[in-house]
Structure 1
Amino acid sequence: MASVLCNYVPELLCKFPQIDQTVMREARKLIDDNFKAFVRAYGYILDAAVQPLQWFLNWLQALFVATPWFIIILVMTLIVYVASRNTKIAVGTALSMLAIGFVGLWEDTMVTLAMVTVCTLISIVVGIPIGILMARSERVQSVINPILDVMQTMPSFVYLIPVVMIFGIGKVPGLIAVVMYAVPPMIRLTNLGIRLVDREVLEAADAFGSSPSQKLFNVQIPLALPTVMAGINQTIMMSLAMVVVASMIGVGGLGKNVLQAISNQFLTIGFLNGFALVVIAIIFDRTSQAYGKRLQRHTEVVHG
């Protein structure tokens, strides 16, 4: 049908106009060559800058793997119960972790847990200050919002390309890729939480003579905590999703097993490792949601 139609309309309307291939080839070559030159010139500085992340990740991973399983389960159950104040979630956490151990995935789960913990901590440290800046400045928000839009719509595999070119294959490159993928919800929801603080509360703080920093730390951030917790929840979920992709560049853990199961068509291995990832996701999700609801109720009582 299209070929018949093209017989009756000008060729220009049937053939989409494109940039000349020579121009595109030269542009790609220019960008790639300059990026590679930048990596060769400053790669050692970037490697030195991220070396503390390597040390911290290795230490935490060794701690999780070397600690006896019953201590890990006990500590996790206590943390979940203190955060959620929900006996069912705490008991479910203990039983789920026992099930992971029974199927032989305990060590890989600890490696993944260490990775997600570090990624979440970095996302919090990076995301909350940027979210605060966005909430305090319309200009900053207008600049950062399009960047976050691109980051959240970019296919996850694309994050691996610049990271591998700069840092090579290993845990830290994978960690950086996971953080890049998972940090946007932290930034957005921190910004949203601070902006949703009631104006009357802010006016009352101004009436009492609060400085901008006092108003931020004593009023806005405490009231925004439930929304910030939702951002942490989303960051954890996205970190777990990205861990499987990052296993392509040497992250290890459950993601590596899933990737091997896909390559070799091992249904049982893939299912069991996927089950372990789902268990971790549910534990984090239920705990952070319950803690967020507790914060929200506390906020409503204090300021209601």
Structure 2
Amino acid sequence: MATAQASPVRPARAGARRGPLAALRERPAAAKLLLLALAAVILVPLVHSRWGGGIWPDALTADLSAPLGDVTDWIVSNRDNHPLFLYFFGHISNAVVLSVRGVYLVLLALGWAGVTVLAAAVAWRVAGIRLALTAAVSFLACGLLGMWVPTMQTLALMVVAVLASVVLGLLLGLAAGLSDRTFRVLRPVLDTMQVLPAFAYLLPVVLVFGIGVPGAVLATVVYAAPPMARLTALGLRGADGGVMEAVASLGATGR
């Protein structure tokens, strides 16, 4: 009685040819480039046939000069009597002015000798004797050149702006560092604020608050707060997991 014997299965050769789809699956970057190339081959002739291939077509141009001009005219016309400016932006402006004036009066009360010694002491404590001497010489030079009062005005403005930037950046950084949803929302905003030129947000601030102390302080805050917020968030989110676990095991909470 004859028995059927199964033929042995031949192992696949190492050099066997693979199909193009299998090769693309192993190389997703090449697959994406191929899809983009196919889309360009199809869409570019269609776009050229519809709008031409020269300069940007006028039909696809959005003219924003008229709406922006209307907004500017409305702000200028209503800045002194509209409730939005009287009861919101007006209070912000008054708070900034009062804060700067308070710091300025404190600096005047210290006198030129007190301010110079205080600046030198802080610089010495932070960075050493060289920076302390530089700070002292800088303040003395401002006095010798007859620029002491403008220097104190600028210093008061910068003190308020730096403190406001630190507080705002710290709060935003804490929110972004402790919440994934807040981080996803704030990240594009912080990225945009850090790459925008200074005049891009300086002009709207000046338009709303005018040229003066409030506009200068708020423009400085808008410029300086995003790096503070980003560094705070990255510091919290980049904390070592082992350290956080050890701290939690000792009884620390999320607060």
Give the deviation of 1:184 after TM superposition. Answer: 1.1
For residue 82 of structure 1, the aligned residue among 125, 139, 149 is 125
User: Does structure 2 retain, via aligned residues, the 8 Å contact 1:65–1:111?
Assistant: no
Q: Distance in 2 between matches of 1:122 and 1:138?
A: 25
RMSD of the alignment, in Å? 2.8
User: Does residue 45 in structure 1 map to residue 87 in structure 2?
Assistant: yes
Percent of pairs with identical residues = 29
Higher relative contact order (CA 8 A, sep 6+): 1
Aligned AA (2:124): Y
Aligned AA (1:75): L
Aligned AA (1:212): G
Q: Secondary structure at the match of 1:68?
A: helix
Give the deviation of 1:134 after TM superposition. Answer: 0.9
Aligned AA (2:122): I
The structure-2 alpha-carbon separation of the partners of 1:137 and 1:36, relative to structure 1 and needing over 3 Å to count, comes to: farther
User: Does residue 160 in structure 1 map to residue 190 in structure 2?
Assistant: no
Deviations 1:170-219, CA, capped at 9 Å, x for gaps: 21122111111121111111112222322211110111121111xxxxxx
Deviations 1:144-191, CA, capped at 9 Å, x for gaps: 111112212222122233223322332112211111112111111111
Give the deviation of 1:16 after TM superposition. Answer: 1.1
User: Does residue 212 in structure 1 map to residue 254 in structure 2?
Assistant: yes
Aligned AA (1:16): W
Q: Secondary structure at the match of 2:218?
A: helix
Give the deviation of 1:66 after TM superposition. Answer: 5.0
The structure-2 alpha-carbon separation of the partners of 1:142 and 1:38, relative to structure 1 and needing over 3 Å to count, comes to: farther
- Per the normalisation by structure 1, the TM-score is 0.59
Q: Distance in 2 between matches of 1:108 and 1:36?
A: 29
Mean CA deviation greater in 30-39 or 92-101: 30-39
1:153-302 mapped onto 2 (5 Å cutoff)? 153-213=195-255
1:245 matched residue in structure 2 = none
Runs (5+) with no aligned partner, structure 1: 1-8, 214-304
The structure-2 alpha-carbon separation of the partners of 1:206 and 1:26, relative to structure 1 and needing over 3 Å to count, comes to: same
User: Does structure 1 retain, via aligned residues, the 8 Å contact 2:201–2:219?
Assistant: yes
1:69 matched residue in structure 2 = 112
1:239 matched residue in structure 2 = none
Runs (5+) with no aligned partner, structure 2: 1-47
Higher Rg of the two aligned structures? 2
Mean CA deviation greater in 194-203 or 157-166: 157-166
Matched length? 204
User: Does residue 126 in structure 1 map to residue 171 in structure 2?
Assistant: no
